[in-house]
Amino acid sequence: MAVVSSFMMNVCSDPLWPSSRAGARLTVDLDAIASNYRYLQTLVAGASCAAVVKADAYGLGIERVAPVLERSGAKEFFVAHVDEGIRLRAVVSEKVRITVLHGPRPDAAAECVQYGLRPVLNSLDQIAVWRSQSVRAGKPLEAVLQVDSGMSRFGLSDGDLDVLHEDEMLMDGLKVSLVMSHLACADAPEHPANGAQRQQMLKMSARLPSAPLSLSASSGIFLGPDYHLDVVRPGAALYGIAPNQTGPNPLSAVVRLQAHVLQIREILPGEGVGYGMTYRPDRPRKIATVAVGYADGFSRHGSGQGCAWFEDICLPILGRVSMDSLIVDISDVPEGRLKADMMVDLIGPRRSVDDVAEAAGTIGYEVLTSLGHRFCREYVGNAETSQKGD
């Protein structure tokens, strides 16, 4: 595996955190990622469990995360773009299969071949691009075919399959090694679209060359064995995001976000807090300004919603989230226990990524992938052992 510079991995090297120049610390538990992968493997014992590491491993650092997943047993990885695949290829072994979900753009098809990337072909145009590339390569090229089973986002339509059926030459030079689709409502287990999409995918795949089938990503895995087919493609579940809201999250939490307190002050009834002065207390309050804002991915839509935590004390967020800071109510903290430059939890043991998302009116996926690059990033766990000293 290639050695990746510590600069690219954005790791805080200062062992004395209080002297760090960053305003906050994002801790990524690599053991938790490995544990989540192994847990998902047990759920899909009859299928192959791939790993989705697009968007820089959901914002957590592909150079650190992907090797841990490979050591945990992942042999197939999925990314969205060709450049992501090239970046991934540098940090995993040659035997790993890398699939590019968005397929081969015309000016990137040659790089797919060069770096051993398998494209997902979502349209007749992409099939033509990849067929041309196989002619240049002088050999059949491996590919995935995606069918649109009802989401109307990516994939071949029934009409496209008619075209392919009428002219079999359109598939010359393609070695189809997977047929896939994607569920639109998998996080709602009782939604009728799940069963309908499964049936549609099976119907459409029967019209294509025989190959393993893949339908389920993270939430789909929890719909049961009927949805596992041959390959599952978990992404968010690897990073601790709940697969649905029907019960407790069975996955291990992966991230913790702690931020410094920059300033503490007392305010009187009626005094305004933050931009627009949208919060005014009805009694004296003690507040703290914390070094995380929307530039760090902590959404402005969470203004006046949610909370931070200090030890076992909830600290409600007051007023609007600013670019570089937010304000919390620390009135319930005993005098002298919380001081400037100490840290509070914004994501942590008492507040999950999904909790933060709910307060902001979004989903855990967006929270995780939006977390910024101004944090001190600390990677912990035995899974990190082989990379110490990078």
- The phi, psi pair for 145, rounded to 5°, reads -105, 130
Sequence-distant (≥ 6) Cβ neighbours of residue 366 within 8 angstroms: 299, 357
Instruction: Report helix, strand or coil for 78.
Output: strand
Specify which residues 224 forms β-bridges with.
none
CB 304 within 8 A of CB 315: no
- Asked if residue 374 lies in contact with residue 59, where contact means CB atoms within 8 angstroms, the answer is no
Identified catalytic residue from 139, 203, 275, 339: 275
If phi over 0 gives left and psi between -120 and 50 gives alpha, with beta otherwise, what is residue 223? alpha
Q: For residues 112 and 82, give the distance between their C-alpha atoms in angstroms, rounded to a whole number.
A: 7
Q: Quote the CA–CA distance of 269 and 121 in Å, as a whole number.
A: 62
Q: How many degrees, rounded to 5, is the angle at CA 323 between CA 317 and CA 329?
A: 20
State the DSSP code for 10. T
Going by the DSSP 8-state scheme, the letter that residue 178 receives in this structure is E
* Helix locations, 174-325, DSSP H: 192-205, 218-221
Distances (CA, A) of 246 to 35, 196, 223, 235, 251: 22, 21, 12, 19, 14
Contact by Cβ (8 Å): 236, 365: yes
Residue with tokens 């189809």: 176
Is 54 annotated in the active site?
A: yes
Phi, psi at 384, each rounded to 5° = -85, -10
Tokens at residue 333, please? Answer: 């903290």
From the candidates 37, 54, 294, 365, give the one annotated as an active-site residue: 54
**Spatial distance between the Cα atoms of 218 and 290, rounded to a whole number of angstroms:** 33
Instruction: Give the other-Cβ count within 10 Å of 119's Cβ.
Output: 27
> Phi/psi of residue 90, each to 5°?
-75, -15
Contact 278, 321 (CB under 8 A): no
For residue 304, give the DSSP letter. Answer: T
Residues known to be catalytic: 54, 275
